[in-house]
Structure 1
Amino acid sequence: MIIKVLLLASLGSAGLFVLRGHRSALNLLVRRALTLGAIACGGLAVLFPSAVTRTAELVGVGRGTDLVLYVLCVAFLFVSTSLYTRHTDMHDRFVELTRQQALLEAELVGLREVLADASDRHVSSQQSGQH
């Protein structure tokens, strides 16, 4: 029964993570803390495999391997949503940069035309003054 509550809470947090969708310093801190926690738990699971089985039994899962599978599925969901959010942010930045570049190029073309017209007028006035 406890595992169902934990899994539903994890899925709910993943859904909330997707809905919030913006990156912040707090998000980065939480992601790094969770990553370090996962590495530490993985190390403990390797060193003490029987503890994984005991933990699985405590939360209502029959075997430790099933618990590891559930945890990996939730972790995969968080990684996938994180990558999706990052991809979306990068896409938005790319679109903004492309717009800025297009505006700058249009401004540059306009300045070149103004300079070319001014240069033509200058050359014309010099030629008419020489005759």
Structure 2
Amino acid sequence: MSRQSLIQVILILGTLAVAWRLLVGSGQRTQAVRRLGLLALAALAVYSIIDPSGTWTRVANWFGIGRGADLILYGLVVAFLGFVVTTYKRFRAMETRYTRLARRIALDEARPAAEHVKSTASPDTLSGDTPPTSSVKAADAD
């Protein structure tokens, strides 16, 4: 197995591991892993700033990749995938909470059924003693 195919296998496995972990977990452990990953990324960034003379190129060459910039790009693709999945999960959870909240508010503000029947189907309304509302007048004009 050549070094280039080795990095391809590692990147594919890394991508699948990130996607699986982010799709499955949503608790404190997952958040802790994300924070540790962020700290590792920050440490690598600081090291890259301190020693920019080709460390990434040497690491990339070891994996069979021509340039260090390509290796960083591949890593950022995996990180971006993690960001996209995390953001999707967060928005989906927020959407579910908003839906539940809207339903709860609608139920809390709804008039009781007995009051609704009383206002719409009372003998006064059925006999025509109550003047029609403006929406009824507009519907009759058509």
TM-score category of the 2 structures, normalised to the smaller one: 0.7 to 0.9
User: Which is further off, 52-61 or 9-18?
Assistant: 9-18
Spell out the pairing of 1:27-106 with structure 2 (5 A cutoff): 27-49=30-52, 50-106=54-110
Identity %: 34
**Runs of 4+ in structure 1 over 6 Å off:** none
Q: Deviation per CA, 1:29-50, whole angstroms, max 9, x where unpaired?
A: 0111111111111111121222
Aligned pairs for 1:2-41 (under 5 A) are 2-17=6-21, 19-20=23-24, 23-41=26-44
Deviating more after overlay: 3-12 vs 78-87: 3-12
> How many residue pairs were aligned?
109
Q: Going by fraction, where is helix more abundant, 1 or 2?
A: 1
Q: 1:18 offset after TM fit, Å?
A: 5.3
CA displacement 1:34-70 (0-9 Å, x = unmatched): 1111111111112122211111111221111110111
Write the distance in 1 (CA, Å) between the matches of 2:18 and 2:76. Answer: 14
Q: What one-letter code is carried by the residue in structure 1 that aligns with 2:104?
A: Q
Whole-angstrom CA distance in 2 between matches of 1:92 and 1:10 = 30
Q: Residue 2 and residue 47 in structure 1: after superposition, are their counterparts in 2 closer, same or farther (change >3 A)?
A: farther
What is the alpha-carbon root mean square deviation over aligned residues? 1.8
Compute the TM-score of the two structures, normalised by the length of structure 1.
0.75
TM-score by length of 2: 0.69
Please tell me the residue identity of whatever aligns with 1:2. L
Q: Indicate if the aligned counterparts of 1:14 and 1:81 stay in contact, CA closer than 8 A.
A: no
